[in-house]
Structure 1
Amino acid sequence: MNSDSEEDFEATYEAGDEDEDGDVGVETAADNVVVHPSISQPMNVPPFMRELDLDAMHAPEFPEYSNIGIADPEDGEFQIGMEYSSRKSVVAAIRSYTIARGVDYDMYEYEPQTFYAKCKMYGRGCDWLIRASLIRKKDHSKLDSDTIAEAIRPLVETDPSIKVKSIIAEVQSRFNYTISYRKAWLAKQKSIAKVFGDWEESFQALPWWLSVMVQKMTGSVVQIETRPLYNGNEEAQRVKILHRVFWSFNPCVRAFRHCKPLVQVNETHLYGKYKGTLLVAVAQDGNQNIVSIAFALVEGEAADAWHFFLRNLRMHVVRKDGVGMILDRHESIRAAVNRSGGDWQPPRAWWMFCIRHIGSNFLRAFKVPHLQKLVVNIGYSRTMEEYNINYKRLEERGEAYARWCDAIGLRHWYWHSTRDIDGAI
C-alpha cells in the first residue's frame, strides 16, 4: 500500500452564524437516525427497553478518535484521512502495524508538523510509505468563552497576568481547536472575575478594605481624596468618585527607621479596566534587601499627583532629615519637589536622578546606543579620578554629549548601586 498522497482535504464543516463571542461558529452536517423496535419483540419486555439503541450504547464516546492505535478495522490497513489524537498515537499505530507484519521502518521529519514513516526496503521491492500531518481545527461553536474561562481557571489563579497567546495555546493543546484572540481575551476576563471578583466590586470594596486594614493593623496610614459626582449640574448625594489614595502598612513605616537614609520613587501605569498610575516608594536595608514603604493610586504622572504622594510620604513615613531621594527626570516630579516647601530639598533632603533613567534619556536624545554604556559608567564612577576619565572619553566623542550631561548637574548623578532598587519598582 502506498499512502503517500499529496491530496488536500476540504474541511468537513460549514460556516454558521456568529456566536456570542463574535466568532464564526461551525456545525457538522449529520442526520439523526432512529432505530425503531422490531414488532417481533416479546411482550414481556418493558416498554422503555424496546426503545433502547444498543448500538449507540456501545459506541465510543469520541467516535472521531475511535481508530486510535489501530489501522482500518476491516482490512488492517491504514487509510487516507484517518485521525489520531496525538503524534504519540500515530507512532504507536505504525509500530503495531509493522511489528505484526515483521517489517521495519525509518522515521523522517519533513517539517515541524509533518513526518514520514518509510519501509527500510523502500525502493528495493517495497513501496510502503506513510505521511502524518497535524491538523489544526478552527474554532468550534460550542467552545465559547464561558467554557474556556472555566478550563483556564487554574492558570489564572496561578498567574493572573497570563498572556492571551498562552491561553490560545492551552486551548489548542487541550481541545485541539484554535480560538480567536478576542475569545481568549474575553475568557481571561471572565476567569479573572470568577477568581478575584469583577472590577466594579473591587473598587466598591476598596474603601472598606482600607478601613479594615487601618483598624486591624494599627499604625498603618491611608489617605483618600475623592471628587463629587454630578448628575447634570446637580451633585449626587452620598456618592463620591475615587480620585487618589495613598497608603503605607505599619510594618513598612517601622522598617524604614532601620533602613539606609535613601528613598527611590517610581511609577508604573495600570492597564486594567480603570486606568491610572501606581506610585511606589522603596528603600534598602543594610543587607541590600529592597523594602517597599509606600504606595499610591493616582490619575497619572501629573504634578498634583506627585505632590499628593510626596507630601504624604514625608508626613507619615520618611520623617527623618538628611535623606536622599532618587527619581527620574520627569518634569512633574521636579515640579512637585519644588512645591514641597523645603520638605524634599536641602538640608532636609537631597534629590538625585536614577542612572538608569539618565541612560534612557540620553539614548532618546541622541540615538547612539554605543555611547549609552559610557554615560552609565560616568554615573557609576566611585571616585573623581574615575569620573574624569569616563567624562573625557565621552567629550572626545562629541562635545554635545558632554554638555548634555553637564546640564543635569554633577550633584544630581546618583552613583550608588541602584540596580536592585530599580528592578524592584
Structure 2
Amino acid sequence: MFSIYHQVQSQVSVIELYVEFKQLPLVVEEPDPIKEWEGYNSESEEEFDSNYEIVDSNEGRDHVYSTRLTLSQNHSKLNSDTIAEAIKSLVKADPSLKIEEVQSRFNYMISYRKAWLAKQKSIEKVFGGWKSSYEVLYTWFEAMCQKEPSAAVEFESIIPYDGNKIAPDVRIFNRVFWTFYPCPVSQDGNQNIVPIAFAIVEARSNGAWEPPRAFHMFCIRHIASNFLRRFKVPSLQKLVVKIGSSKTMREYNMRYQKLHEQGEIYTEWLDKIPRSQYALAFDEGYRWGCMTTNLVECINSVLKGVRNLPVTALVKETFNRLNELFTRKRAEAEAQMNVGHVFSEFVITKLQAYQRAAGNIQVNCLDMQNEIFEVREIPIGVEYRVNLRQCRCDCGDFQVDRIPCLHVFATCANQHLDWQVYVNEVYRLDEIRKVYRARFRPLGDPTTWPVYQGPRMIPNPTFKRVCIGHPKKPRRCRICGGNGHRCSRCPQDVGSSRGGSVASAPY
C-alpha cells in the first residue's frame, strides 16, 4: 500500500532594471532624449519604442529621465523551451495549469501561443512524450495485470493499411477500457463517489458510453434545461423537475396532468423520453434517489487535470489518485466505527430528523400478520399506508432511500419494533469499510516488468488537429439539432415564419 501526495511550491524571480539619465544644467535648450540616444543605439525608433519605456520623473529634481527596461514579446532568449523549463514544477503539481497563469509568471505578457507551446513541452518533459506514450501503454497495462490479476483491461484497435496491404506490427489506438479490483460500486452508503471503471474513447457518443449491466438514465436538470430552451416557459420548467422527481405514481400522474392542462404540446415533448429513464417513480429502484449527473461529475475533483496528460500518464494518475482516495476513505470509516457509530453520517442525520417528526403521527394496525399499518399525520390529516414486510410507504421515501421514513419510525415506536432492521445494509459502516478494504499494489520498477511482444500502438492520425486555432464547427440548430442553420431559421420551429412541426429530439 502506498500513497502519493504532491506539495510543490514554485517561485520565479523577476529582475527590473532602472536607468537614470541626468541632464547637464549648462545646456539651455532641452534636447529630445530619443534623438540623443539614436546616435548611441543601433536600433530603429520603432524597435527602441517596443523595447524601452520612457518615464518622466521630475519630482524633486530637474530634467531627470527614468527608463524601465522590459523585454519584448518577441525576445529571442525567452522562447517556449526556456518557459517550459521554468514551469516544470508548476505543471507537475497541476497539469491543468491555465495558460493565463503561465503568462503571469513573467515580467511581461508573452503570447498565448508561446505559453501554450511551453506548457505542452513541459508536460512532455515531466510525464513523457505524447506519441511515445501510446507505445508504452500496452506495457504498463500488462504490468498492472501481472501485479493485480483481478484488474480488467480491454483494448480496441484499428488495423492500418499500407496501400492494399496490412501494415505489420502496428495498430492504431481506438479505445481502451480498464478497471481496478478495489472499484466495485459507484456510491457508498455515506454518499461518497467510488469509480467503477475507466475508458478512453474517441468521442462522447451513445456507442462509446454503453457499459455492460448498466441502466441508462437521464439527468432531470438537463431535461429541464432542454425544455426551457425549447418552450421558454420558466414556470413549467419547475413542473417538469417535479414530475421527474415524483417518488410515487400518484404524484407523477397528478403533476403530469397539470402539465397536460397547460398544453398538449408539452406532454408530447416529454413523452418522447421513456418514463423509466427520467421519472423516479418508474425507475424500479435503480436510481437510489439520484436524479442528476452530480454522481458522475463529482469524480472530476478526484481526477482533476488528468485529462491534460499523455495517455499512459493519464492511466498512471488514475491508479495513484484512487489509491490515495481509498486509503483516506478507509481510514475515515474505521475512525467512525472506533467511536461506536453503526450507520454512516448521512443516514444518522436523516434518521434523527425523522425521529423528531414522528411524534405527531397516529398509527392504526390494519393487518398485523402481513405487517400493514395506516398512519395519519395529526396536524394536516393526511393518511399513508405502511407495509413493513415489503418496505413500502405511500410517501415514497421508504422505498427510494431504503431507510425508515417518519411514518415507519412512528409505526415501529407504536408496535415496539426495532427500526434498525429496516435500514439497508449499504448504510452500515462495516459495509462501507468493505468497499475500501482492498489495497492497491505497487507496480515496482519498470525494469522488472514483462517484455511486451505485441504490435506497436500509435495514435489515430485522423484525430490530430491539422489547423491552427480552435477547430471549426458548423452551425448547429438548438431546436432540431441539424447543422447549417440557426434556430431562428429552423423549419421545425413553430414560431417561425416557415412553420413546421414540433422538434423530434427532446434531449
**TM-score where L is the length of structure 1:** 0.50
Distance apart, 1:223 and its partner CA: 1.0
Distance apart, 1:392 and its partner CA: 4.4
User: Equivalent residue of 1:162, what SS?
Assistant: coil
Does 1:147 find its partner at 2:82?
yes
User: Equivalent residue of 2:138, what SS?
Assistant: helix
User: Equivalent residue of 1:284, what SS?
Assistant: coil
Alignment partners' CA distance in 2, 1:8 and 1:163: 41
Alignment partners' CA distance in 2, 1:241 and 1:214: 22
Distance apart, 1:146 and its partner CA: 1.0
Alignment correspondent of 1:164:
99
- Please identify runs of 4+ aligned residues in structure 1 that moved more than 6 A: 7-16, 25-30
Alignment correspondent of 1:291:
194
1:183 to 114, 123, 127: 114
Kindly tell me the number of residue pairs found equivalent between the two proteins. 254
Alignment correspondent of 2:151:
220
Alignment correspondent of 2:314:
none
Q: Kindly provide the amino acid, as one letter, of the partner of residue 374 in structure 1.
A: L
Distance apart, 1:395 and its partner CA: 3.5
Matches within 5 A, 1:299-338: 299-302=202-205, 304-306=207-209, 310=211, 313-314=212-213, 325=215, 327=216
Alignment partners' CA distance in 2, 1:189 and 1:163: 12
Does 1:417 find its partner at 2:348?
no
Q: Do the aligned partners of residues 304 and 382 (structure 1) sit closer, same or farther apart at CA in structure 2, a change above 3 Å counting? A: closer
Distance apart, 1:380 and its partner CA: 1.6
Q: Which runs of 5+ in 2 are unaligned?
A: 1-31, 281-288, 300-507
Percent identity of equivalent pairs = 47
Q: Do the aligned partners of residues 410 and 212 (structure 1) sit closer, same or farther apart at CA in structure 2, a change above 3 Å counting? A: same
Matches within 5 A, 1:170-319: 170-171=105-106, 176-252=107-183, 255-256=184-185, 283-302=186-205, 304-306=207-209, 310=211, 313-314=212-213
Q: Do the aligned partners of residues 404 and 228 (structure 1) sit closer, same or farther apart at CA in structure 2, a change above 3 Å counting? A: same
Distance apart, 1:403 and its partner CA: 1.9
Structure with more strand by fraction: 1
Alignment partners' CA distance in 2, 1:408 and 1:78: 80
Q: Could you tell me whether the CA contact under 8 Å between 2:246 and 2:279 is conserved in 1? A: no
User: Equivalent residue of 2:196, what SS?
Assistant: strand
Q: Could you tell me whether the CA contact under 8 Å between 1:26 and 1:139 is conserved in 2? A: no
Q: Do the aligned partners of residues 81 and 156 (structure 1) sit closer, same or farther apart at CA in structure 2, a change above 3 Å counting? A: farther
Q: Could you tell me whether the CA contact under 8 Å between 1:226 and 1:243 is conserved in 2? A: yes
Distance apart, 1:83 and its partner CA: 4.8
Distance apart, 1:243 and its partner CA: 2.0
Q: Do the aligned partners of residues 136 and 145 (structure 1) sit closer, same or farther apart at CA in structure 2, a change above 3 Å counting? A: closer
Alignment partners' CA distance in 1, 2:279 and 2:75: 57
Q: Could you tell me whether the CA contact under 8 Å between 1:136 and 1:178 is conserved in 2? A: no
Instruction: Name whichever of 202-211 and 354-363 sits farther off.
Output: 354-363
Q: Which has the larger radius of gyration?
A: 1
Alignment partners' CA distance in 2, 1:9 and 1:160: 45
Distance apart, 1:242 and its partner CA: 1.6
Alignment partners' CA distance in 2, 1:15 and 1:296: 56
- Residues 46-65 of structure 1: CA deviation (Å, up to 9, x unaligned): xxxxxxxxxxxxxxxxx99x
- Residues 347-377 of structure 1: CA deviation (Å, up to 9, x unaligned): xxxxx33323322432443354554333223
Does 1:407 find its partner at 2:266?
no
Q: Do the aligned partners of residues 406 and 214 (structure 1) sit closer, same or farther apart at CA in structure 2, a change above 3 Å counting? A: same
Alignment partners' CA distance in 1, 2:163 and 2:276: 52
Q: Kindly provide the amino acid, as one letter, of the partner of residue 83 in structure 2.
A: I
1:382 to 237, 243, 247: 247
**TM-score where L is the length of structure 2:** 0.43
Q: Could you tell me whether the CA contact under 8 Å between 2:243 and 2:279 is conserved in 1? A: no
Alignment partners' CA distance in 2, 1:78 and 1:189: 51
Q: Do the aligned partners of residues 231 and 395 (structure 1) sit closer, same or farther apart at CA in structure 2, a change above 3 Å counting? A: same
Q: Do the aligned partners of residues 240 and 136 (structure 1) sit closer, same or farther apart at CA in structure 2, a change above 3 Å counting? A: closer
**Which structure would you say has the larger RCO, counting Cα contacts within 8 Å and 6 or more residues apart?**
2
- Residues 260-316 of structure 1: CA deviation (Å, up to 9, x unaligned): xxxxxxxxxxxxxxxxxxxxxxx222222111111222233455544xx52xx44xx
Alignment partners' CA distance in 2, 1:14 and 1:390: 81
User: Equivalent residue of 2:195, what SS?
Assistant: strand
1:394 to 259, 265, 270: 259
User: Equivalent residue of 2:246, what SS?
Assistant: coil
Q: Could you tell me whether the CA contact under 8 Å between 1:245 and 1:297 is conserved in 2? A: yes
Alignment partners' CA distance in 2, 1:405 and 1:29: 61
Alignment correspondent of 1:77:
61
Q: Kindly provide the amino acid, as one letter, of the partner of residue 290 in structure 2.
A: S
Distance apart, 1:186 and its partner CA: 0.8
Distance apart, 1:410 and its partner CA: 2.6
Q: Could you tell me whether the CA contact under 8 Å between 2:245 and 2:291 is conserved in 1? A: no
Q: Do the aligned partners of residues 409 and 236 (structure 1) sit closer, same or farther apart at CA in structure 2, a change above 3 Å counting? A: closer
Distance apart, 1:218 and its partner CA: 1.8
- Residues 195-233 of structure 1: CA deviation (Å, up to 9, x unaligned): 111211211111111111111112000111222221111
Q: Could you tell me whether the CA contact under 8 Å between 1:354 and 1:414 is conserved in 2? A: no
Q: Do the aligned partners of residues 28 and 221 (structure 1) sit closer, same or farther apart at CA in structure 2, a change above 3 Å counting? A: same
Alignment correspondent of 2:338:
none
Q: Could you tell me whether the CA contact under 8 Å between 1:246 and 1:294 is conserved in 2? A: yes
Alignment correspondent of 2:444:
none
Distance apart, 1:141 and its partner CA: 2.8
User: Equivalent residue of 2:131, what SS?
Assistant: helix
Q: Do the aligned partners of residues 402 and 243 (structure 1) sit closer, same or farther apart at CA in structure 2, a change above 3 Å counting? A: same
User: Equivalent residue of 1:408, what SS?
Assistant: coil
Root mean square deviation, CA, Å: 4.1
Alignment partners' CA distance in 2, 1:248 and 1:144: 41
1:355 to 208, 211, 220: 220
Q: Could you tell me whether the CA contact under 8 Å between 1:362 and 1:372 is conserved in 2? A: yes
Q: Do the aligned partners of residues 364 and 9 (structure 1) sit closer, same or farther apart at CA in structure 2, a change above 3 Å counting? A: farther
Q: Do the aligned partners of residues 154 and 390 (structure 1) sit closer, same or farther apart at CA in structure 2, a change above 3 Å counting? A: farther
Q: Could you tell me whether the CA contact under 8 Å between 1:14 and 1:28 is conserved in 2? A: no
Q: Kindly provide the amino acid, as one letter, of the partner of residue 220 in structure 2.
A: I
Alignment partners' CA distance in 2, 1:305 and 1:246: 11
Distance apart, 1:79 and its partner CA: 5.9
Instruction: Name whichever of 364-373 and 239-248 sits farther off.
Output: 364-373
